[in-house]
Chains A and B, each alone.
Chain A
């Protein structure tokens, strides 16, 4: 079956690739941003330099990163790993500040109480600071998700399979159909990511909804 010059089977395959290339770095990036953000908050002298450095990573042009990474990682230029690593870099760039903000949003008296109860710093992070930072982290994740879905499409220029392929194909064939379908698919994907993050955040913060309900 074809729709506006795009094979539906191919569309599904490209969409799944896109989800994979944008989604996995979102998770991995968060897992790496958590220790970095924590370190920035724990060691005050690191806060400025660390956030400046990670923030700068976001300004590296994605196409340049896709081309440089094979040289650094020793991968083939077509290897999707390049895209995964590049997207993880962008996710870290966005989420390190988010995590630091989230940890700082925890009220001081709550942190002090937790320390006084006998939580070690690391345990306190997972038991108190991170759970309370979920709303702030989720807000940052929503930005990073949309950003990832959009940037991944650039990887079409280095030939990695995902929805961006529809843009290059449409451009080469001078056809609007594939381009429109690609844009709509990206929009739907971004909305889907957003909805998932929102519902996970809600599920992790039952205390927030019940607070207003009392």
Chain B
């Protein structure tokens, strides 16, 4: 399994950055990392690890005591703070919308500060609102009239409106209920992919970090960097016990999300509703007219043609070119003991749990250690 290396220039670079307060507390200690252009870099760690302080030093909401920060190749300390901030999008936990301004006016904030002409500012605001799924009528409302999830979408739109090359996000999804959060994260990922904005994000949630980050910086208490790597690398080779503990005991299973491997796929003879089960197979897979799997039937449990009530639903479907985790989930959740593989929803074939497990055990891992061999 090759580790993906990004051959891109870095957009934000921290060099030996330290923040020490007057009372001697060190919030961030000699922190260095590079956030690659067009990618999401996530700062993650327990509370008190200085992740938010680090983020705020990038747009100079907090001034570092030592070290240098470069944004788009320029030394941040050489720029006027307000001007630097206008070129950097910023999203915070509770959205921080201006309650006295309409959604449209909120989103126009940075374009107005940048002195864009009125029509351009408004057109851009409508455009980004559309991007975050709040077109039309929402523009005229006040933040107090929106749900938490909608407010956060406006927060993202407002950060995007000034066309920033860099966006900073501080726990953007933490205050949102889990169901909506999942949706927002997925939308955010596809939006980021489309726009190619460089993002540095802070979260305390390692799952969120692994889901969203192309690069993850794990910080520990006292503001030192424990590890900086890609998510798969972080899961496969935690630097030390702290990182391993923070990433969690099920990291081996999670790491499978990033593993791709060839798994033997066996052609399957499908049947349709109204057919009879195949006489030679204990289980038959049932598809609809478009070859989309709709369930399994057990030969001995069915008399006569297969009806809707004979179907045993269940099982996630594995994408043909998906991850090992997808294969494993499909194999383990199928009532027939065989995982169903699809391509664009259509049946491709089935796979066998033993073979998937075998491949997982033998999968070439960057370190050569095994998934099951977590020796913490």
> Which residues of A are interface residues toward B (Cβ below 8 A)?
107, 109-110, 112-120, 128, 131-132, 205-207, 210-211, 214
B145 is an interface residue with CB less than 8 A from chain A: yes
Contact A113:B92 (CB < 8 A) given known A120-B82, A207-B144:
yes
The answer to whether A210 and B59 touch across the interface, beta carbons within 8 angstroms, is: no
Say yes or no: B82 contacts A118, CB within 8 Å: yes
Q: Is the CB of B99 within 8 A of A119?
A: no
User: In the complex, how many residue pairs between chain A and chain B have their CB atoms under 8 Å apart?
Assistant: 71
Known contacts: A120-B82, A210-B142. The answer to whether A113 contacts B90 by CB under 8 A is yes
B143 to chain A, nearest CB (A): 8
B146 → A minimal CB distance (Å): 9
Main secondary structure of the interface of A (DSSP, over half): helix
Q: Mark B86-115, 1 if CB is under 8 A from A, else 0.
A: 101010111111111100000001100100
Nearest residue (CB) in A for B59 is A116
Chain B interface residues (CB < 8 Å from chain A): 59, 61, 82-86, 88, 90, 92-101, 109-110, 113, 141-142, 144-145, 155, 158, 168
B92 and A207 contact, CB distance less than 8 A: no
Which residues of B sit under 8 angstroms from A112, Cβ to Cβ?
A: 61, 92, 96
Asked if A211 meets B142 with Cβ closer than 8 Å, knowing A115-B85, A117-B113, the reply is: yes
Residue in B86, B94, B96 whose beta carbon sits within 8 Å of that of A118 in the complex? B86
7 pairs of A and B residues whose beta carbons are closest in the complex: A113-B96, A118-B86, A211-B144, A116-B90, A118-B85, A214-B145, A109-B96
> Which chain A residues border B100 with CB–CB below 8 Å?
128, 131-132, 205, 207
Contact A214-B144, Cβ < 8 Å, known A110-B96, A113-B90, A115-B61: yes
Q: Is the CB of B92 within 8 A of A117?
A: no
Q: Is the CB of B85 within 8 A of A117?
A: yes
A109, B155: Cα distance in complex, Å: 12
Contact with A109, one of B82, B92, B141 (Cβ below 8 angstroms): B92
CA distance A157 to B168 in the complex (A): 64
| Complex CA distance for A116 and B52, rounded to whole angstroms | 13
Given contacts A110-B98, A112-B96, A207-B101, are A117 and B144 in contact (CB under 8 A)? Answer: no
Q: Which residues of A have CB within 8 Å of B96?
A: 107, 109-110, 112-114
Name the A residues within 8 Å of B168 (CB-CB).
116
Chain B residue at minimal CB-CB distance from A211 = B144
A120 to B60 CA separation, bound complex (whole angstroms): 13
Residues of B within 8 A of A128 (CB): 98, 100
Q: List 15 A-B contacts (CB under 8 A).
A: A109-B92, A109-B96, A110-B96, A112-B92, A112-B96, A113-B90, A113-B96, A114-B96, A115-B61, A117-B90, A117-B109, A205-B100, A207-B101, A210-B142, A210-B145
Which of B82, B88, B141 makes the CB contact (< 8 A) with A119? Answer: B82
Instruction: Verify A207–B142 contact, CB threshold 8 A.
Output: yes
Indicate if the CB atoms of B90 and A210 lie closer than 8 Å: no
Residues of B within 8 A of A119 (CB): 82, 113
Write out the residue numbers on chain A whose beta carbons fall within 8 Å of the beta carbon of B144.
207, 210-211, 214
Q: Are the C-beta atoms of B61 and A116 separated by less than 8 Å?
A: yes
Chain A residue numbers with a CB within 8 Å of B88 are 116
Complex-state Cα separation, A114 to B100, whole angstroms: 13
Q: How far is the CA of A164 from the CA of B217 in the complex (A)?
A: 73
Q: How far is the CA of A205 from the CA of B97 in the complex (A)?
A: 16
User: Using Cβ atoms and an 8 Å threshold, which residues of chain A touch B158?
Assistant: 117
Q: Could you tell me the distance in whole angstroms from the C-beta of A115 to the nearest C-beta in chain B?
A: 6
Task: Give every chain B residue within 8 A of A117 (Cβ-Cβ).
Answer: 85-86, 90, 109-110, 113, 158
| Residue from B61, B82, B95, B99 within 8 A of A207 (CB atoms) | B99
Q: A116-B88, A132-B100 are in contact. List 11 more A-B contacts (CB 8 A).
A: A109-B95, A110-B97, A115-B85, A117-B86, A117-B113, A118-B83, A128-B100, A131-B100, A205-B100, A210-B142, A211-B142
